[in-house]
Amino acid sequence: MENFTYQVPTKVVFGQDAESQCGELIKEAGGTKVLVHFGGHSAVKSGLIDRVCKTLTDSGIKYVKLGGVVPNPQLSLVREGIQLCKAEKVDFVLAVGGGSVIDSSKAICYGLGNDFDVWEIYEKKATPTKFFPLGTIVTIAAAGSETSNSSVITNGKEKRGTNYEMSRPLFSIMNPELTKTLPIHQTMCGCVDIMMHTLERWFGADGKYSELTDSIAEGLLSTVMENALILKETPKDYEARAEIMWAGSLSHNGLTGCGNGIGDWSCHQLGHELSGMFGYTHGATLASIWGTWARYVYKEHPERFAKLACDVLGIVPAEQKENEDLYEDDLTTEEIESIALEGISAMEDFFKSLDMPTSIHELGTELTDAQIDQLAINCSFNKTRTIGQFKQLDVNDMRQIYSKAR
């Protein structure tokens, strides 16, 4: 098992009507004047913003509102938010929305806590020392930003992420009921993203994995797969939405990677460039590229893919799974590789069953060679970095993966 640090200080308030507690939670945290930050339409249309504002008023808390966060949130609105908070002497930020709203709020909190330009943090040119108090009300199960240490912001077409422990929210309110208004496509994009946060961690190191963490990861993946299929048939199923929502937070707070290294994250890096250049939904970019990435790298440690195939995707009949030495002793390398490949196809079939893309053209663009070159250049930060842990990928590898996935 690899060494690790695991600390998730976010208070989670989960379940029906949980949002009615937000005023008291902010008061508990010492907030007196709040920025209520939200997206384009959904939270206003559903009446959630009005209800939240009433709760704040009932708790004696003042507020200002700033809506308009777009998916793949833009730096320009972050800057507007920072100015507004300073002018209004806001002392607490409340994100009401999905990963985009929460990440925009996190960027505002960095901007308020530090006296340099916030984009420098995302460009890795400056290190934040302070973070403003943040709470969230989650309206989509997907990014996991409500308990994660990450945030991802887009500046024009450049999408960049940053991770600092200080950016985990003080509290996150999760009411699965609030996700019932989501279009089915967004729901499924969210399910893929949740799975990918555990899958990226699954492929984190070179053989030193924690048995317990693997079991947690397998349980989470199976739960998301089962409940995603339920939601495809019955999108308003509360229990299925609750399972997915809880999985969304646990998948990205670090739990499913403890002891397994830092994770691979290649698909996220490759996917961010597709969102940056074309604006595609995050979860869909991950589905479009995962299978190609997997086939490109699986020979590094085919037994890791074989374990996923057997334990999560049901490739090997249950009675054979009883044999603990299955992967090392009983099977030849060719057999392990064959199971690995079957697993990769099974995962792609599962994505297809959710109507998710498994190639880039299904996202809506027939990539030209010039676009592929540009994506690889962007993803390699102009040839200055590699990505991935399971297999390190340089600019040529990136180019090949985009090309094979197109």
Is 96 or 141 the residue whose CB approaches Zn ion more closely? 141
Burial 163-178 (b: 16+ CB within 10 A, else e): ebebbbbbbbbbbbbb
Nearer to Zn ion, 37 or 282 (CB): 282
Counting residues that bind ligand NZQ (by CB under 6 A) gives 33
Say which amino acid occupies 289: I
Please state, as a whole number, how many other Cβ atoms lie within 10 Å of the Cβ of residue 100.
25
User: By CB under 6 A, what part of segment 107-146 binds ligand NZQ?
Assistant: 139-140, 142-145
For ligand NZQ, give the closer residue by CB, 188 or 341: 188
* Residue position matching structure tokens 């990450």: 150
Residue 19 near Zn ion by CB under 5 A: no
Burial class (CB in 10 A: 0-12, 13-18, 19+), 242: buried
Q: Quick check: 269 binds ligand NZQ (CB under 6 A)?
A: no
- Decide if residue 104 touches ligand NZQ (CB under 6 A): no
State the Cα–Cα distance between residues 33 and 192, nearest whole angstrom: 36
- From 66-74, 186-194, 290-298, 386-394, give the range in contact with Zn ion by CB under 5 A: 186-194
- Regarding 85 and contact with ligand NZQ (CB under 6 A), the answer is no
Residue 388 contacts ligand NZQ per CB under 6 A: no
| CA 53 to the chain's CA centroid | 28
Which has the closest alpha carbon to 406: 352, 353, 367?
367
Residue for token digits 């939904």? 281
Of 193, 214, 303, 348, which lies in the binding site for Zn ion, with binding defined by CB under 5 A? 193
Tell me whether residue 97 or residue 302 sits nearer to ligand NZQ (CB atom). Answer: 97
Q: Which does 385 bind (CB under 5 to 8 A by kind): Zn ion, ligand NZQ, none?
A: none
Q: Which of 10, 104, 114, 148 binds ligand NZQ (CB under 6 A)?
A: 148
- Confirm or reject binding of residue 235 to ligand NZQ (CB under 6 A): no
Contacts of 263 (CB under 8 A, 6+ apart): 200, 201, 203, 204, 257, 389
- Which residue's CB is nearer to Zn ion, number 286 or number 331? 286
* Distance of closest approach, residue 350 Cβ to Zn ion, in angstroms: 17
Structure tokens at 272: 């961010």
Of these partners, Zn ion, ligand NZQ, none, which one is at the site of residue 151 (CB under 5 to 8 Å by kind)?
ligand NZQ
Comparing CB distances to Zn ion, the nearer of 61 and 191 is: 191
Region of 100-108, 114-122, 193-201, 325-333 interacting with Zn ion (CB under 5 A): 193-201
d(CA 210, CA 3): 10
When the beta carbons of 326 and 390 are compared against ligand NZQ, the nearer one is 390
Please give the Cα distance from 262 to 202 (Å, whole number).
10
7 to 66, contacts with ligand NZQ by CB under 6 A? 39-43
Could you tell me whether strands 158-163 and 134-138 are parallel, antiparallel, or unpaired per DSSP bridges?
A: unpaired
Residues between 276 and 335 with contacts to ligand NZQ, criterion CB under 6 A: 282
Please give the C-alpha separations between residue 289 and each of 76, 222, 269, 293, 339, in angstroms, as whole numbers.
29, 21, 11, 6, 20
386 binds, options Zn ion, ligand NZQ, none, Cβ within 5 to 8 A by partner type: none
Q: Is 98 exposed, middle or buried (0-12, 13-18, 19+ CB in 10 A)?
A: buried
CB of 66 to ligand NZQ, least distance (A): 13
According to the binding rule CB under 5 A, does residue 200 interact with Zn ion? no
User: Which one among 181, 365, 374, 403 touches ligand NZQ, defined by CB under 6 A?
Assistant: 181
The yes or no reply on residue 378 touching ligand NZQ (CB under 6 A) is: no
Question: Of the ranges 79-87, 93-101, 327-335, 337-345, which one interacts with ligand NZQ (CB under 6 A)?
Answer: 93-101
> Of these partners, Zn ion, ligand NZQ, none, which one is at the site of residue 167 (CB under 5 to 8 Å by kind)?
none
Which amino acid does the sequence have at 394? D
Question: Least CB distance from residue 174 to Zn ion, whole Å?
Answer: 17
Q: Which residue is nearest to Zn ion (CB)?
A: 193
Residues within the interface to ligand NZQ (CB under 6 A): 39-43, 71-72, 97-101, 103, 139-140, 142-145, 148, 150-152, 178-179, 181-182, 186, 190, 193, 252, 268, 282
Residues within the interface to Zn ion (CB under 5 A): 193
